[in-house]
Copies of this chain bind each other. A is one copy, B any other.
Amino acid sequence: MATPAPHPHPTRPDEAEAPARVTCGHHGCETICADCAVRSLSVCSALEPGELAHFARLSQSIHYPARATLIAQDEPAQHIYNLTAGVVRLYRLLADGRRQIVGFALPGDFLGLAMAKTNTFSADAVGPVAACRFTREGFGQYLEEKPHLLRRLHELATHELTLAQDQMVLLGRRTAEEKVAAFLIATRDRWARINGAHLHVPLPMSRQDIGDFLGLTVETVSRMMTRLARDKIIVIVPDGVRILDEARLEALCAV
């Protein structure tokens, strides 16, 4: 279990603030959304083509460098984001520096579902990231007029809640090996929705990040990865892992 000893995490919410580069201001031209690779996965799928044009005008297409902070815990929530490329880690910090990553956002994911005035977690870019950014106010006003968008938001929120419950089972009742196996399977499945099914699972986040997500130390994550590789269940490749034996990996998850 975690000890009170502080983690020396490089990424505190105050550092590495985003020198956010705005690509095109409002992206009023509908073609941008029309071309969006993740539209069918995101909130936008709730909108008609006509609505989409109006909706797009509320947002900015924006790029962030690695480690940029999109959301800072306990700060006023100014923006909400629809992630279009890259990976974002969502986390909470304890006073002594212990960190729990509560999720990784992948392309198509929505940040700020709660529409709350104050952020309940921090979020920063694992690598370079692209997103559609809305002001909370602007999005909120649009939401007033569009009950079906609210319904979609609620759908996404309850899906998140189910994922959170999955994670509670993992954190509370699985062994280190099961945690890592379940993480790889879940990550494979999430990428599959975006890119289609592959045996290659991209892991742009560090071992430390994975550990802070699974309630483990870096060393334990590394050891379990090594063990899975030794047992010929996966191969560790530069930017992630390749699954060699799906059946055995799934069996290790102990669903």
- Which A residues are closer than 8 A to B by beta carbons? 1-4, 92, 94-96, 98-100, 102, 113-116, 120-121, 147, 150-151, 153-154, 157-158, 160-162, 164-165, 167-169, 171-176, 212-215, 254-255
Query: Among the listed B120, B147, B173, which residue makes an inter-chain contact with A94, where contact means beta carbons less than 8 Å apart?
Result: B173
- Given the known interface contacts A171-B171, A171-B215, the answer about A161 and B164 at a Cβ–Cβ threshold of 8 Å is yes
Residues A175 and B95 in contact, CB atoms below 8 Å apart:
no
Residues A116 and B158 in contact, CB atoms below 8 Å apart:
yes
Residues A94 and B164 in contact, CB atoms below 8 Å apart:
no
User: How often does this chain occur in the complex, in copies?
Assistant: 2
Query: Among the listed B2, B150, B165, which residue makes an inter-chain contact with A92, where contact means beta carbons less than 8 Å apart?
Result: B165
Which residues of B are found within 8 Å of A215, using beta-carbon distances? Answer: 171-173
13 additional A-B residue pairs with CB within 8 Å, beyond A121-B165, A157-B158: A1-B175, A2-B173, A2-B175, A94-B169, A100-B169, A113-B158, A113-B161, A116-B158, A157-B157, A164-B165, A164-B168, A168-B171, A172-B213
7 tightest CB-CB pairs across the interface, nearest first? A172-B215, A164-B164, A171-B171, A114-B158, A2-B173, A100-B169, A154-B154
User: In whole angstroms, how far apart are the Cα atoms of A128 and B174 in the complex?
Assistant: 31
Min distance, Cβ A115 to any Cβ of chain B, angstroms:
7
Residues A120 and B172 in contact, CB atoms below 8 Å apart:
no
Residue of B nearest to A165 (CB): B102
